[in-house]
Each structure stands twice: as C-alpha cells, then as structure tokens.
Structure 1
C-alpha cells in the first residue's frame, strides 16, 4: 500500500458495511444523479455570509436538476461549527454531508465516523497528486474543495521607500533574519520588520520541519520537539526583542489578524507577515492599491511552509443517503455553473477547469490568493496540524511563550513545561 503523508499516518479506518458504487453518468455536466431514490440531505458547513449565500444557490441549482434530492442546510461560523459537530457525533446525529478540515479529519476517521469516498471517480476533476496527498491509509474520507497554502506578504511600497532589500522567493531562514536586521536599521522606531510569533507553535514548527527534523508530533503521535533547534530559534527571537526588531509584547498580543484597527501589518506597524491563501482577500483589503507583494516562507534543506488541500466535504458513515451524497459532492466540484456561482468562497477551486473559467473575473484579493499559492507550492512541505488530543499542549505553548515574551518565564522553564505537556499528549495519543 502506498505511503501517505506523515500527518495522515497511523489512523484507524472507519470502513463502510458495503460500498455504494456510482453509475457512469456524467454528473459534472448534467447534474442528474444515478439514483432515483428521494433524499433530503442534511448538509453542514462553516464560513462567512458570502459562502452561505453562494452555497445555498448551488444547493437550489442541484435540486432544480434533481427534484427528488432536497437539502436541510445548516451553517455557522468556524468556532460554532467545531463546538457543535462533536456534539452531533456523540449523539450519532451527524449530517449526511459535512464540511471537514484537515486539522480535524484524523480524529473523525479514527472514530469510524466518516464514510469511505474512494469510489467517487474524480479523474479529470481533481489532480491525482492532490488526491494522493489527502488519502488516509490509502482511502479518501474527504473530497477536497479547494487549494490552500501559506506564504508571506509584505508592504512593497514601504520597503522600497525605506531603501530596504526586498525578499526573494525561496529565501532561507538566514536570509529572513538578515532582512529583519537590515530593515531595523532603516525603519522608524515605531515600525518593525517582522512579527514576534513565538507564542504560535506552528511558527516554530515551520523552522523545525524546514530543517528535515519532522513536525512536533511525528506521525500524529510521537512528541518530537528538538531541543537544540527550539533553543536556537527562540534565542534568536529573544535577541530580536531586545534590539527592537520585533514589536514589544503588548503591541504584538493586541494585534488581531485582518482587523483593520489592530492588525499590525494592516496599520503599517509591521512590514512583513505570514498569510494563508484563504485569507488573501481580507489581507488585500488592509493595504489595497497594489502595495502588497508575496514571498515564500523561509526554507531549509527540506523545504518550507506548506501547500495542499485542507477543506473537504465528507459523508457520515451512518448516513442512509450515501449514494446521493456522493453524487452531489462530485457535482459540486465539477459542474461549471455551480463553479461560477461558488467562485472562491472556499478558496481557489480544486477543479482546474473551473478555476480557469472564472480567473478572469478575480478581484485583486482573489488574485493575491493565486499569487500566494504560486510562491508556496514549489518548496512546500505537507500540512502538519496538531492532532486531536494535543489541545492542552497547544494552549500551554501559547501561554508559556507569552510569559517568555513578557520576561516572566525563562526559556529553560518554558521548555521543561512544554516537554511535560508534550509527553502527556503523546501518551494520550498512543
């Protein structure tokens, strides 16, 4: 069996009692399904009002072409969604179709809650490599809806005006640190080259994985915080804090990403920061008018950053309407009219034909997302989310490193606490 990505290994598969096979009709073109059985599909997703409205229109389009299939939609914001879905899982009332995220899909598959969708023929719709990357033990439990990835954005105008050397794509961590040091000498005291992200565990993980040392939770279970690398990284940021290269802790921790009033990048206090493809429109709105340029995350010998699908449609293993649900999901990502209606409400469409058909109408923010994906893909590593069961480690990482930023805790003390929490998480995961 072909090996899957590291963050998807060691998962127990929730198999179906019997596999429902789709017929050979072209649901992508006609929108009509292979089953004559009537169904009211419960479907649930998170997102913005724009996503809600576009998705509802797509559901109406499908029912118009398939009158026997109707929908009972439910949608909410991100936080509310992940509070409610576990409750539904516990009461065995998961919706037929649910939007799923790469950070959570492992846990739902491990508990046998998601149906195997490997029998959906996605050839010519989703790139084969994309499908291979999201398989869990060789099977598909979530059909990818969009591309995602992470790169860096910077205020090109401000850097040029200050005479600062601009970043170059696929720069190394040494280049990144050198940029920050040079920029400090040319910026006013109340402006900063980079953020201080020591309290964000993923930011350090980018550093460790780029050096080929693997994620903090290797294979989704084994605690793998490399001591020397961790101290090297955080000692550099401690130096930067003393030199005023990063914002003071109080300014950094009051910054709310993409908030026009507090985002330090949007308010011009920080010149460069990380950005996901999915947040590109919000970021462009902070500094409109072509001020923003993009760059890859710093890379090491193994690469850097990440780029892959992270948002899916999954089907409940307990659903009595699996055939209809599968037919709908295939239509959702392959129907041209649905693609135009949905646009980029879930990011860059996973179907390249649909992407090409709508690209000419992209806004500046959507084009920024395309640009971010472009710089991220070449050297990208897989997406390594914290596994379900490591929540205590994640929250402790944040609080401990914030104490370090305020000089209330030493690096040595923080490291000991993190190792204790990490090993406790490992025991729980295993």
Structure 2
C-alpha cells in the first residue's frame, strides 16, 4: 500500500510539473497566444527623463495586457546611446527592440543589423506616403513613432522686453541674419540674438534651401559641398563673431542643451536656438510661458524638415522577432500606451492617438504641434548622414570648431571637409 501510495504521489507530482511547464511557455514565441508567455524582450532607447518614465509606463501596460511578457529596458542620453550601440552591433548583441533615428538607420541597415518589418500591417495607422518615404531598398526597417519637425525656439519674454520684433513664419535666411544684426543692437552686453553653428546639418539646411543638392545622396555615393554657399554662410558667422552677434567660442563650448544653468536659451544668454517637435517641451519646462516657436529660415526651395525621424526597430539577431514585431505595432496603436507616452517622441504618427491626446495637452505640449504646423508647408526632406560618414560628421564639427576658435580659416576647413567627403563617397561608390 505504501509503495502504491508513493508511486501515486510521484505520478501526481510529475503531472503537476508538466502542467506548470506548459503554462510557462518556456520559449520566445507565442506572440499571438496570450502575449508569448515567458518572453523577456530587451529594449533600449535614448532621451530625457520624461521620455524614460513615459516609456517605462508603456512597457508596464504591455506586460499587463500580455501576461508573461517582461522587459529588460536600458535607457540613456543621446551621446551615450550612440557610443554603446556600435559595440553591441559588433558583438551581435543589440537588444530585441531598439529606438532608431533617421540619422543612423541606413548605416545599421547596411550592416545587416536590423530586421525587415515590411510584413507589419500599418494600414489606417500610418500614411502610405510616409511609409514609402521611409523604405530603404524597398523594405521597412523601422516603425515610425511620430511626426517630427525642425524649427527654432525663441525667448519671447526677453525679446518683447527689449522691444525686438518676434521671428515670423517663413522668414528667409536674409531676414534671419538681418534680424540678428538688428536684435543685437537692442540687447544688453552678454546677451546674443542667435547662437554660432558648427554642425553639418545646420549648414545643409542652408545649402538645400537654396535649391542645391543635399550634401550626401544615393547612400553616400554622391557628395556635394557647395563651396560658394559654404564660404558665404560661414563668412556671415565669422562677421557675427567679430561683432559679438553670436557668443564667443569659449562660451559656446560650455553650452549644454536642457540644463537649467548651461542651456544657451534657458540661461538667458542666447535668444534663439534650434528645437524640434519632440524637444521643445523640455525647454518650455525650464522657462514656462516664455518660449515661442517658428520654422527654420527658408530659401527659394523651402527650409527645414517635417517628417518621421524616430523609429522602433527590431534586431536582425533577435530570438524574439515575432513578439518584438507585435510590440512595435502595439506601441503606435494602443490608446492606453498613447496616453502614457504623450508627446515624448513628438506628435504621434497615429492620428487617432493624437486626437485622444489633444484635449488634455498642456501649453508645453502644444508648442511641439506648433513647430510642426509652422514647418510642414515649406519643409524639405530630412537628409541623414550616409552609412560610413560618421567620421566625416565628427571631422566637420572638429574643423568648424577650430574656425570658431580662430585656429584656421574657413577655406582651410572647407578643403579638409570636402576632401574627406569625396574620399568616402568614392569608397561608397566603389
């Protein structure tokens, strides 16, 4: 009797263990069956604290809706993110889901690091034209999260205090530069109407606005740095440095955007700075009620950009691809997640989500929509650096920084930047 009892208990225990194992799923699939029990999705993104907290809330919502799916999140600032990602790519250990930017997506696609997401049905969620514009080689490698735009923010309160006319929609570059000259005459010592510029993208806005090709096209095979426009653009800034219209190089080097003391505009030092749909709310929080927005200066061809620039992608080496794909679609369609995420990544790509949010938006949030609305009619395409041009982007800033410090001429900087760009384009073409 005792022996039969022991056998019966052992059999019952075995049956219980088998049942528990079946319930746990024990694998990475099952994305369409109760949320893939037992799956842990690794995910990484960059951004400010506001985005971190909102995204963590959204992950909690997904886990509640899909019992058994957990997340292993990593989040950091922009620079730290792009320092870490190449290391993960080299070891083929990129997280299952990762935030991707239009500036870098082509580079990671060319390395075979991102999964093709063309089979995700976005009908009625994302405008087909938007999807077509985002495809690389006919395939979709990132689910767009928002409609973003590049514009400018300005210190409305101080400009009004000093009797300076506010920037207006669709101002031209000539008007922008003249506005800076006129504003400087009314500002006290130690305050500047505009900041200096040493990054390639802000010059590229100028070159393309004048009807010239983007600096990089055809995946980096075509390189066009217009010397005449380059010399004119930076010649104006050189004049501005001499006349104190932009801050001295030493002061500009210490600026740190969105830092209460070191942000060029929030500190009260510079009256304007670049801002995007997704970033302007952080500035408004630093100086509530004082921020105005306007689109980028324009030329004959237009100016600035307004389109999707931030995505969720899936690693080509993920072992949880189906669950990851299910998640990235959910991220832009679930209304509860949409409320949690708000405008932390810009205007939601899904118009239904924005319609849900609009009645509850604060002034800081509506500024982002205002940047987009002001920018969209004159916007040019978003031009990202081509794959393999990371060295060129860094070199561009280094050489133009040297110009601002008076260590070399604009022409010398042009020759170095142009030479490297042509070498990289030839390499890409070869």
Structure 1 segments, 4+ long, off by >4 Å, are 35-38
CA shift, 1:121, in A, is 1.3
Q: 2: CA distance between counterparts of 1:59 and 1:326?
A: 14
Q: Distance in 1 between matches of 2:301 and 2:404?
A: 29
Mark the CA change 1:324 to 1:205 in structure 2 (over 3 Å): closer, same or farther.
same
Shift of 1:151: 0.6
- 2 CA distance for matches of 1:201 and 1:348? 26
Equivalent pair of 2:153/2:280 in contact (CA under 8 Å):
no
Is residue 422 of structure 2 the alignment partner of residue 423 of structure 1? yes
TM-score, length-scaled by structure 2: 0.86
Measure, in 1, the Cα distance between the counterparts of 2:71 and 2:263: 39
- What is the alpha-carbon distance in structure 2 between the residues aligned to residue 129 and residue 79 of structure 1? 31
How far off its partner does 1:42 sit? 2.7
Contact preservation (8 Å) 1:167, 1:295: yes
Cα 1:45–1:185, aligned 2, differ >3 Å: closer, same or farther?
A: closer
Alignment-derived partner of residue 101 in structure 1? 101
1:343 is displaced (CA, Å) by: 1.8
Distance (Å, rounded) in 2 between the aligned partners of 1:142 and 1:364: 30
Structure-2 residue corresponding to 1:169? 169
Tell me by how many angstroms 1:33 deviates.
5.6
What is the RMSD of the two structures over their aligned residues, measured on CA atoms? 2.1
Structure 2 gap ranges (5+): 1-29
Query: 1:35 Cα shift?
Result: 4.4
Please state how far the C-alpha of 1:228 moved relative to its aligned partner: 0.6
Relative to structure 1, is the Cα distance of residues 405 and 66 closer, same or farther in structure 2, using a 3 angstrom cutoff? closer
TM-score computed with the length of structure 1 as normaliser: 0.86
Structure 1 residues 343 and 417: CA distance shift in structure 2, 3 A: same
Q: Which residue does 1:247 correspond to in 2?
A: 247
Matched pairs, number: 397
SS of alignment partner, residue 278 of structure 1: coil
Contact 2:217–2:386 at 8 Å: present in 1 too?
no
CA distance in 2, matches of 1:250, 1:84: 29
Using a 3 Å threshold, how does the CA distance of structure 1 residues 191 and 64 change in structure 2: closer, same or farther? Answer: closer
The Cα of 1:334 is off from its aligned counterpart by 0.6
1:113/1:318 contact within 8 Å kept? yes
Shift in Å, 1:373: 1.6
The structure with the larger Rg is: 2
Match of 1:14 in 2: none
Structure 1 unaligned segments of length 5 or more: list them. Answer: 1-31
Q: Is contact 1:392–1:425 with CA below 8 Å preserved after alignment?
A: no
Shift of 1:170: 0.7
In the alignment, which residue of structure 2 is the partner of 1:129?
129
SS in structure 1 at match of 2:67: coil
Determine if the alignment matches structure 1 residue 191 to structure 2 residue 195: no
- 1:213 corresponds to: 212
Q: Is the 8 A contact 1:389 1:428 kept in 2?
A: no
Query: Contact 2:207–2:229 at 8 Å: present in 1 too?
Result: yes
Whole-Å separation in 1 of the counterparts to 2:81 and 2:242: 41
Contact 1:35 1:323 in 2 (8 A): no
What is the CA-CA distance between 1:129 and the residue it aligns to? 2.7
Shift of 1:34: 3.2
The corresponding residue for 1:178 is 178
Task: Give, in whole Å, the separation in 2 of the partners of 1:238 and 1:80.
Answer: 32
Tell me the alpha carbon deviations over residues 374-403 of structure 1, each in whole angstroms, 9 at most, x when there is no partner.
212121112212223222222222222222
Cα distance, 1:105 vs structure 2: 1.0
CA distance in 2, matches of 1:176, 1:298: 6
CA contact (8 A) 2:31 2:322 kept: no
